[in-house]
Amino acid sequence: MVSDLLNTRKTGWDTNRVNAWIHHEDVDKVLSIKICPGAEKDLLGWHYTKEGIYTVKSAYWLATHLPSEQQIRSTPGANDLKAQVWRINTAPKLKHFLWKLLSGALATKANLVYRHMSNQPLCCYCCSNVETTCHLFFDCVMAQAVWRGSGFPLASLTDPNISLEEKIKAIMTCNTSTRFSHLRHFPLWILWRLWISRNILCFQRRSTSWRKIIRQARDDAQEWQDQERHTEDMRGSRAHTPSETRSESRWEPPNQHWIKCNYDGTYSNGRISQAGWVIRNDRGTYLGAGQAKGNQTRNVVESEFQALIMAMQHCWIKGYNRQENGGQGLQRVNSHGVDVGTTSLQIF
């Protein structure tokens, strides 16, 4: 311990001990370190970070830089393919899922048996083959039915002679390929839905048909694509908004003794539009909020109007019956077509 090298009053080094216990090359370096008068107990330090605090990153560095006989085994799967996973355009949960799939880290029956956590290796779907990752997602009769039924134009996915990594690589290539731009999210969501329905079957004893898996995956992919397009439109709108206009998005208080209701509506093609609103007074104090599901709308403007009506009804019920539309939102919708930015009402 460091404290054993200090003098009895703990105000400096005990040079005899330092000379006796420390390698002679390091003695001068140790003696040049000043002793802090307020120093307390010795603490264990981790020498692979500047702060002396353990981090997983530094431990990984250490594990991969140890002499070869002590090196840890890297996780299964091609590292370059796993690195590509983080660069594909999809939901973060799918990236994480795909990385686990490629690393052999999904809790498939075969992996659980390998880790002595189970003695049941058979696939939940067909009950006749070991549930390896490749079997579950590509070789099982259920997976084959899903891939064939999806109409996805890659015969390699159902070819048992092609490796798991090659199949995943093909799916990831589709994600960036312009040739399959309309389908680029679909196969990733099929993998996800196969895994979810497998878990429902294993743990809840409820089966999902291959048609339903395809339908759910298609809905997921469509929703993700709509959301992506919407985000791009929003970014485009902001990029073209002059800075003085953008400053309007900061909340401004209403006139004295009035309250302000900020409202907003969601728009997603083919889905029910939802609305939310928050009421504050002229000092910015929160007075209440609400949210509601409305009808399906045909465009952003309809969603905004529906949100406005629901917010007005809510305010009316609460006894605020003199209302004035702030107008900012409508102006923004008209100029950019898709922006569903915050709109506001002034109420008395």
Interface residue list for Zn ion (CB under 5 A):
123, 125-126, 129, 140
Kindly tell me which of 140 and 194 has the beta carbon lying closer to Zn ion: 140
Q: Which residue has the tokens 């005899």?
A: 16
Structure tokens at 287: 């007075």
DSSP classification of residue 67: -
Tell me how far, at minimum, the Cβ of 110 lies from Zn ion, in Å. Answer: 11
When the beta carbons of 140 and 171 are compared against Zn ion, the nearer one is 140
Beta carbon of residue 131, minimum distance to Zn ion (angstroms, whole number): 6
CB of 135 to Zn ion, least distance (A): 6
Q: Which residue bears the tokens 């390091």?
A: 26
Closest distance to Zn ion from the beta carbon of 189 (Å) = 20
184 or 193: CB nearest Zn ion: 193
Residues 133, 124: Cα–Cα separation, whole Å: 13
Q: Which is nearer to Zn ion, 140 or 311 (CB)?
A: 140
Q: Are 186 and 217 in contact (CB under 8 A)?
A: yes
Residue 255: other Cβ atoms inside 10 A = 11
Give me the least distance between CB of 127 and Zn ion, in Å please.
7
Task: Report which of 191, 171, 167 is spatially closest to residue 180, judged by C-alpha positions.
Answer: 171
Tell me how far, at minimum, the Cβ of 75 lies from Zn ion, in Å. Answer: 25
Nearer to Zn ion, 161 or 243 (CB): 161
- Cβ 117 to Zn ion shortest distance, Å: 20
Contact predicate 306/294, CB 8 Å = yes
**Chain position carrying tokens 């000043």:** 34
CA dihedral 242, 247, 249, 252 (to 10 degrees): -150
Name which of 102, 95, 62 is nearest 78 in CA terms: 102
Structure tokens at 147: 């891939």
Give 8 or 204: the residue with its C-beta nearer to Zn ion. Answer: 204
Q: How far is the CB of 140 from Zn ion (least distance, A)?
A: 3
Measure CA of the first residue to CA of the last residue in the chain; give whole Å. 71
Contact 40, 53 (CB under 8 A): no
Q: Which is nearer to Zn ion, 59 or 145 (CB)?
A: 145
Residue closer to Zn ion by CB (options 125, 277) is: 125
Q: Which residues contact 20 (CB under 8 A, 6 or more apart)?
A: none
Cβ of residue 327: shortest distance to Zn ion, in angstroms? 60
Residue with Cβ nearer Zn ion (125 or 224): 125
Q: CA–CA separation, 166 vs 176, rounded Å?
A: 16
Q: Read out DSSP for 31-51?
A: HTSPPPTT--S-----TTSTT
For residues 170 and 137, what is the distance between their CA atoms, to the nearest angstrom? 14
C-beta separation of 103 from 75 below 8 A = yes
